[in-house]
Each structure stands twice: as structure tokens, then as C-alpha cells.
């Protein structure tokens, strides 16, 4: 029997009535779900992880990437393994590991899951699990509405981007990777990834993984914002060639400086600004993956805890 701390975001895209359904399924499968009051179920998940860490074997989070990001500091401090139940809009981490909104898959993860450790990124002291963005993505994440997310899912970001297209402007920045000679350039978008995916159907690099101790940085340096559409096949595959108007770099520490402070979105939520330093914290988060999510394309090395 495993002791489960079940945390379901009532504001997640899939709705707020999953808690009781999942709790019943887990208990019927022979495990214990820690009893939470109604206020706790709708409370601060970071505090709950720390409050119940000595009584917990596994934390299950039902929500999107933003919900997971919010709880990361407590998960790292408590050293508790996480099982995902994707209920958000983009669900980048879940997509990367082929984790579905499926109760049977969730139960198989509890019973027979593979425990792994993955890296986390840190920007200006803030953890991120997937991606940080600067430029177009920040404007989109500031303006996309919860209603549009609920109605159209990942397409909400594309629709919002098209609506805001007349606001997009390139900016100058200085980029330094692992202390090497800085690069000064003009860009529309900087994307920094800890893992493999940075938007629905977008891949930062074909062989990127969540446990290689490396951040990937993609700078889009086209002349007009709409020229980015012709780069979509390369963005989706995560493969670039020299003739493309992009700059792709990777390293363990990346710094970005801009003339004026610019906002940065962190796992989908605007949380900090330039100047910014991005680092890797190796194998900082424990994940439990469902057995059927493991394949040759799983973005981790062949490791377990």
C-alpha cells in the first residue's frame, strides 16, 4: 500500500470534479489517499507538500505545466516522487513522456511505474521544468484568456498570437553561454528549454532529454514576424541548418541581457525579467512514469532510481 497526496487543480482545463473520482479509484486499488479538507483541496499546494511530506510516498498532481511549476520548490525540498495527471492546456511534460489523462494509466504508474530523476532549470532563482520564453511567447502568455484555453486547448496560444501580431517587435539582446564570447543580436523570440518540448508539437532538438544536464537556447532572427511560419517544419522536428534565420546554442549556464528589462515567461506564466541567468540543477526532481509511456523515444537516458 502506498500513501498518496492527491492534488487536483480545480481551475485546470479539464474541470474541478476529478478529485473524488481519482481518490475513489486509487483507494479501490488498495492505496491510501491522504484526507484533505475542502479548504486544503483548494489551497496552496506548495504548503501541502511540505505539511504532509512525512506521511506521503507519492505526490500526484492533476493540472497543467503551470500547476507543476508552482509546486516544484516543495517537491525538490521534500524529495518526494511525482506522478502526473495532465489536465492543463499544453501539458508539455506529459506530452514528452506520453502521459495521458487516463485513470488506468495513472493506477499502473502507482503500482508498477518506473522511477526516474530529471533535471530542472533555474532562472533568476525560479525553477522551471520545461521552458522559458522571451519575446513573442511572453506577449501571448500575458494575453491568452482562460476561456480561450478551455475552448480551444493548445490552439489558444496560436489564436492569441495572431490577434496580437501587430504588437510584436524584435529586440536586441546579449547572450552568453557557459562564459564564452557573448553574442549580440536582434531577435523576435528567445526560447530556453530544459527538456524536449517547448510548445504543443514543437521540439527544441531531436535528441534533447530531461536528464542530460543541458539547456537548449533557440533565437529566432527573422526580418518579419510572419516569416516564422515558414520555419514551423524545423521547429516541429527540432532540426536546423545554417541557412535558417535562427541561432541555436546549448550549455549549462546561459545569461541574457537587454537594454531595458523585458519580461520572461516561465513554464507558461510570466514570473521574472531580464537580466536573467539560466542554470541546470541536475536530477533534482523524481518522476514516476507509467510502464506504457516508456519507449526508445522517451526523452531520458536509460536510468532509474
Task: Work out the average pLDDT over 132-139.
Answer: 93
* pLDDT, mean over the chain: 91
pLDDT tens digits for range 17-30: 788 999 999 999 99
Residue-level pLDDT at 194: 95
pLDDT tens digits for range 193-211: 998 888 877 899 988 999 9
Provide the angle, in degrees to the nearest 10, between the axes of the packed helices 155-163 and 136-143: 100
pLDDT tens digits for range 224-261: 888 888 888 888 888 888 888 999 999 999 999 999 99
Residue-level pLDDT at 227: 84
* 173 contact partners, CB below 8 Å, separation of at least 6: 134, 184, 185, 186, 187, 190, 256, 257, 258, 274
* Portion of the chain with pLDDT greater than 70, in percent: 96
Task: Work out the average pLDDT over 172-187.
Answer: 95
Residue-level pLDDT at 282: 95
Is the pLDDT assigned to residue 11 strictly greater than 80?
Answer: no
φ and ψ of 217, to 5 deg: -130, 125
Residue-level pLDDT at 173: 95
* Portion of the chain with pLDDT greater than 90, in percent: 65
* Domain regions of the chain by residue span: 3-121+283-293, 126-281
Is the pLDDT assigned to residue 13 strictly greater than 60?
Answer: no
Q: How many CB atoms lie within 10 A of CB 193?
A: 27
Residue-level pLDDT at 297: 66
Residue-level pLDDT at 192: 97
Q: Are 270 and 142 in contact (CB under 8 A)?
A: yes
CATH of domain 126-281: 2.60.200.40
* Rounded Cα gap, residues 203 and 46, in angstroms: 29
Task: Work out the average pLDDT over 122-135.
Answer: 97
* Rounded Cα gap, residues 142 and 256, in angstroms: 20
Domain 3-121+283-293 is found in CATH 3.40.50.10330? yes
pLDDT tens digits for range 83-128: 999 998 889 999 889 999 999 999 999 999 999 999 999 999 999 9
Residue-level pLDDT at 296: 64
pLDDT band at 144, cuts 50/70/90?
confident
Residue-level pLDDT at 28: 96
CA 291 to chain centre: 21
Amino acid at each position: 500500500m502506498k500513501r498518496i497526496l492527491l492534488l487536483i487543480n480545480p481551475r485546470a482545463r479539464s474541470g474541478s470534479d476529478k478529485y473524488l473520482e481519482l481518490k475513489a479509484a486509487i483507494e479501490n486499488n488498495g492505496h491510501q489517499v491522504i484526507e484533505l479538507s475542502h479548504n486544503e483541496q483548494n489551497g496552496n499546494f506548495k504548503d501541502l507538500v511540505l505539511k504532509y511530506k512525512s506521511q506521503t510516498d507519492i505526490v500526484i498532481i492533476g493540472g497543467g505545466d503551470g500547476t507543476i511549476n508552482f509546486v516544484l520548490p516543495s517537491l525538490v525540498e521534500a524529495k518526494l516522487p511525482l506522478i502526473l495527471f495532465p489536465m492543463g492546456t499544453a501539458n508539455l511534460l506529459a506530452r514528452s513522456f506520453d502521459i495521458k489523462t487516463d485513470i488506468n494509466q495513472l493506477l499502473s504508474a502507482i503500482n508498477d511505474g518506473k522511477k526516474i530523476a530529471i533535471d530542472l532549470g533555474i532562472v533568476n532563482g525560479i525553477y522551471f521544468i520545461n521552458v522559458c520564453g522571451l519575446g513573442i511567447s511572453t506577449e501571448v502568455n500575458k494575453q491568452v484568456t482562460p476561456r480561450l484555453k478551455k475552448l480551444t486547448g493548445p490552439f489558444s496560444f496560436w489564436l492569441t498570437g495572431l490577434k496580437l501580431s501587430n504588437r510584436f517587435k524584435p529586440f536586441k539582446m546579449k547572450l552568453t553561454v557557459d562564459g564564452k564570447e557573448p553574442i549580440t543580436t536582434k531577435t523576435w523570440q528567445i526560447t530556453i528549454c530544459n527538456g524536449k518540448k517547448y510548445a504543443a508539437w514543437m521540439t527544441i532538438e531531436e535528441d534533447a532529454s530531461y536528464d542530460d544536464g543541458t539547456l537548449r537556447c533557440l533565437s529566432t532572427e527573422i526580418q518579419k514576424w510572419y516569416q516564422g511560419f515558414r520555419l514551423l517544419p524545423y521547429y516541429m522536428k527540432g532540426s536546423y541548418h545554417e541557412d535558417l534565420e535562427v541561432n541555436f546554442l546549448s550549455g549549462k549556464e546561459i545569461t541574457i541581457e537587454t537594454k531595458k528589462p523585458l519580461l520572461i515567461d516561465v513554464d507558461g506564466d510570466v514570473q521574472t525579467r531580464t537580466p536573467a541567468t539560466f542554470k541546470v540543477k541536475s536530477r533534482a526532481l523524481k518522476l514516476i512514469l507509467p510502464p506504457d509511456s516508456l519507449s526508445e523515444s522517451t526523452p531520458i537516458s536509460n536510468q532509474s532510481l
